[in-house]
A = this chain, B = another copy of it.
Amino acid sequence: MPFAVPVAEQRFLLQHVAGIDALAAMPAFADATPDMVDAVLEGAAAFAEGSFAPLNRVGDTVGARRTEAGVTMPPGYVAAYHDYVAGGWGTIDADVAQGGQGLPFSVATAVLESLGTANLSFALCPTLTVGAIEATSAHGSASQQAMYLPKLVTGEWTGTMNLTEPQAGSDVGALRTTATPQADGTYRIKGTKIYISYGEHDLAENIVHLVLARTPGAPAGTRGISLFVVPRFRVGADGAIGAANDVRCVSIEHKMGLHASPTCVMSFGDRDDCIGEIVGPEHGGMRAMFTMMNNARLNVGLQGVEIAERATQAAVDYATVRVQSARAGAASRESVAIVEHPDVRRMLLRMKALTQGARALCYHAAGQVDRAHQGDAAARVRVDLMTPLVKAYGTDVGVEVSGIGIQVHGGMGFIEETGAAQHYRDARIAPIYEGTNGIQAADLVGRKLTGDGGAGLAALLAEIRGEAADEAGLMMLVDSVERVAEALRVGDGDDRLAGSYPFLTMLSVATAGWLMARQGRAAVGDDGFARMKRAVVRFYLDRLVPEATGLSAGALAGAAGLYAVGVEELVA
């Protein structure tokens, strides 16, 4: 199926949602000139379309495989990954000192979006490497940074995040992997981790595992966790790759989607010879984990947008080619392309509106990340508030839009060869990993709503009201969000959690609606992009925003009804 990165949309969002002009005016981002940003967007789009996109289907049909020699990627992936490294596509926002280009995270977001829209499974690998870079940058020693960062930034080595264990999924504090100190200051790591994306593969010469484990005598729960760096192959002081470390993939999962991404069960220290170094202070693992996870959560939210964009393009393409039935009420009884039928249009515009609304959340958050990195405290608060919204709403949108994509294809959508089914299957993991969307909702109504007395939320709502007061439907939703927030804040903890998910959706839609309204005002002129943008903005504000208002009853309904029956009755 045809595929093109929506570069005009990316440029528009960088300008009007992320605020790239203001970023470029900061000394740190002086290089982010319009010409430079354009060159990056165009180059990334061409690379994504030419190298990553053509491998999406073979990634699904062949998938990553575990062999005696280790995990191998599907045909074409190794060469494309080498091109990715050679093109410097992983270096956009990394520090210049580490070999990066020092451009804004907002621009890196657009680049990652292009790769992920082309091939979600493949782009997950760089996404995880970013997490390893962030953790090492923030918490690693100077020698660790010197040893790992340059190779991670280029992508010559890839990174993983090793959190989950069979008994410790969302409850990270329950993990049991051990780290025993050695005389030389290193640690012996022993344990099993599951769901490790790209835990093993043949794309890169080394893999840098960041592993949460417990040191001897560590306190129970999350307070006793430390972070360790465990390379697949040991690295000499000179940076040369040495002998294999005692870490290996013992199984890969048979998943519903994302087949090209090897989801590994990793065994550390089978022969008691897995050597790692501690990253940051002992028992500082949770803080380091949140460093890794926060940007990862933004990037997973972006994955929802990516799969939604890909599904939308496929559906629009099919709808313009598939001829079926005359237009109802039309004089002509000739069959028309299904794009002409009102309900198909409704589906396509719903796909576009959801996708663009979720994308706006991603770019807004990215712009705030850049400001926060430059010391803007209000931007840091905004990023913290936006993170659960981006992650949960973005991934919910990915699921819904890919489902509509199947529907637009009719019977063909259920046939694997069409490709729509792959989007639907691939999309479904995103609401689960990097903290389930339920965890995001709990984070929102917990820390984010009550942690600062609600100041961050109040600031956001005030900004929305100040800018979009003329959108009556949006103002109704904002009022409703405020009422719900207040009720949840003063309410019982169970009631707060019971209403957390509908509240998260309401706030996400209110925020996206605000950013869509802004785009609608900015989309002046009569070119195709501007007219399309205005139509999609109206769809979002006139149809999706009122839907979200309907969630307030559920958000306020409380927990008592959920516990009116015991577990026995639920099972019966």
Contacts and interface: CB of A to CB of B under 8 A. Distances in A.
A183 interface: no
A535 B565 CA distance: 7
A417 interface: yes
11 contacts: A169-B324, A171-B324, A194-B411, A254-B417, A329-B492, A346-B498, A411-B433, A529-B569, A531-B564, A538-B561, A543-B554
Nearest to A2: B571
A186 interface: no
Enumerate the 7 nearest inter-chain pairs by beta-carbon distance, A residue then B residue, closest first. A550-B550, A546-B553, A329-B493, A342-B497, A543-B554, A345-B562, A256-B421
Interface of A: 164, 167, 169-171, 174, 194-195, 221, 253-258, 316-317, 319-320, 323-325, 328-329, 333, 335, 337, 339-349, 352, 399, 403, 406-407, 410-411, 413-417, 421, 424-425, 428-429, 431-433, 436-438, 441-442, 446, 473, 492-494, 497-498, 500-502, 528-529, 531-532, 534-535, 538-539, 542-544, 546-554, 557, 559, 561-565, 567-572
A296 to B, nearest CB: 15
Given A497-B341, A570-B348, A253 B415 contact: yes
A291 B488 CA distance: 52
B403 A339 contact: no
Nearest to A343: B438
B535 A564 contact: yes
Given A546-B552, A550-B549, A561-B539, A343 B501 contact: yes
Contact of A254 (B255, B323, B416): B416
B425 A413 contact: no
A553 B542 contact: yes
A406 B424 contact: no
Contacts of A195: 411
Given A325-B171, A417-B254, A498-B342, A431 B411 contact: no
B414 A429 contact: yes
A89 B461 CA distance: 60
A415 B169 CA distance: 14
A345 B561 CA distance: 10
A254 B319 CA distance: 22
B554 A547 contact: yes
Given A442-B328, A562-B346, A532 B569 contact: yes
Given A256-B416, A325-B170, A428-B406, A542 B561 contact: yes
A209 to B, nearest CB: 18
B317 A571 contact: yes
A548 B546 contact: no
Contacts of A317: 571
A567 B327 CA distance: 15
Contacts of A345: 498, 559, 562-563
Contacts of A561: 349, 535, 538-539, 542
A559 B342 contact: yes
A567 B424 contact: no
Contacts of A344: 438
Contact of A342 (B416, B473, B494): B494
B551 A547 contact: yes
Nearest to A544: B554
Contacts of A492: 329
B550 A551 contact: yes
A568 B528 contact: yes
Contacts of A415: 253-256
Contacts of A347: 438
Most buried by B among A255, A342, A399: A342
B567 A339 contact: yes
Contact of A562 (B194, B349, B414): B349
